[in-house]
Structures are given as C-alpha cells and as structure tokens.
Amino acid sequence: MVQAINLKKGMIFSQDGKLIKVLKANHHKPGKGNTVMQMDLRDVKSGAVVHKTMRPTEKVDLVEVTKKKAQYLYGEGDTYTFMDTDTYDQYEVSADQLGDDVKFLMPNIMVDMDFTDDNKIIGIELPSTVEMTVKETQPEIKGATVAGGGKPATMETGLVVQVPDFIKNGEKLIIGTENGDYKSPFSVPIISFSPFLIKDKKIILNLCISWGLFFV
C-alpha cells in the first residue's frame, strides 16, 4: 500500500479491480482547507482519463511494474507495434492503452514498455523529448524572436504545439513529451576532425553523410 501523497507520474495502482496509471499528480491547498492531491488518472484497459481529487493519506495498492527497452516500429489503424531491442520480440499496444502518447510516437524512437508480473502490457514511458517536423503553421513573421507571442503549429503526428513566430513549415523541432511543449529547433551535430585524422577524412565523410551529419 502507498499513500496518495507519494504517487508520481508513471506509477500504476489497482483500484476497484482496475489498473490505473498516474498521468499527473499535484499537491493543492484550497484556501484555508487541507492539502489534497489533484491527479489525472488513466484506466489502463479502457484508456479513459479522469481528473480525481484524493486525500494525501488515502492508500492504494501499488502494482509492481517491469520495464523493458523497446523501439517503436509502426502503427496500423489503432494498433502500434514495438520491438524489444534485446530479444527482438514484438508487442502490439492499442491506441486506448497509449492515450495521448500516440501523438509523440516517431519511427524508431526508444521507449520503456511497462509489464505487470504476469507479463501483461500496461503501457509505455516516452523519452523526455522527441524530434518532430512542423506540418503546418502560419507564415514566418520577419524579425520575430523567441520572446514573441507565439503561434500554433501542427506537427507531423497531429500534435498541436505553441511555437515561436519565426518557425516555418518543414522545420524540425524538439518537443517535450510531458506537456507537449516546444523546447528548441533541432540542430544537426557538428563534428570537428583533428589534423592527424586527415587520412581517414573520406571514410568519415561518407559515414557523416549516411548519418545526416555535417562536419568542419
């Protein structure tokens, strides 16, 4: 058993015969009243999300979760396929189980898959950020800065993000997965070579091209 005050995002607990995943957990003190826990919870099976208020001392049955590293492969209809990078086993997860996480699924990204003791898939844990391309947004505003008011941009997965006014269609951005917020433009790594590596520069150049990197 664990008290509600100790619940954190990503934890799974059992209540009324259902597995519940914590999406958000915040302390809230309403005026002169006692502190309460305000949480966004998702029913693992149905995918339904509810906002619930709990007493900090309220106890729930925490479910032990096993995590496995997996790579996202593809989505077909309402089913999304992941591959265990150690065993190469493939797992299918429904859109209901994933909830809003589907809007952050980019090909080949690595995630943590959550399993119960009986090897039942509960869901996934996304990386903190993902790289996404702007599909549609308003035209660039010349002279705009990061400090501007911003504008909405629809990403390639359908996710809508508030971005700076200078962002254009087709740009790659770094997006935070916790709140679906803009972090920064995506920048390609730059590799510098030491003089003693000059003989191997052609080989390394070919590697850089295949990796999509620039070099100086």
- Tokens found for residue 11: 């934890």
Residue 181 has what pLDDT?
92
Find out if CATH 3.40.630.10 is the number for domain 66-125: no
Global pTM reads 0.71
- Tokens found for residue 124: 């996934």
- How far, in Å, CA of 58 to CA of 3, rounded? 5
- Tokens found for residue 14: 């059992």
pLDDT tens-place string over residues 90-121: 999 988 888 889 999 999 999 999 988 788 88
DSSP string across 31-86: TTS--EEEEEEEETTT--EEEEEE-TT-EEEEPP-EEEEEEEEEEETTEEEEEETT
* Architecture, CATH, for domain 129-185: Beta Barrel (2.40)
Domain ranges, ordered by start, for the chain = 2-62, 66-125, 129-185, 189-216
pLDDT tens-place string over residues 129-146: 999 999 999 987 666 555
* Architecture, CATH, for domain 2-62: Roll (2.30)
With beta carbons less than 8 A apart as the criterion, state whether 102 and 95 touch: yes
- pLDDT, average across residues 67-86: 94
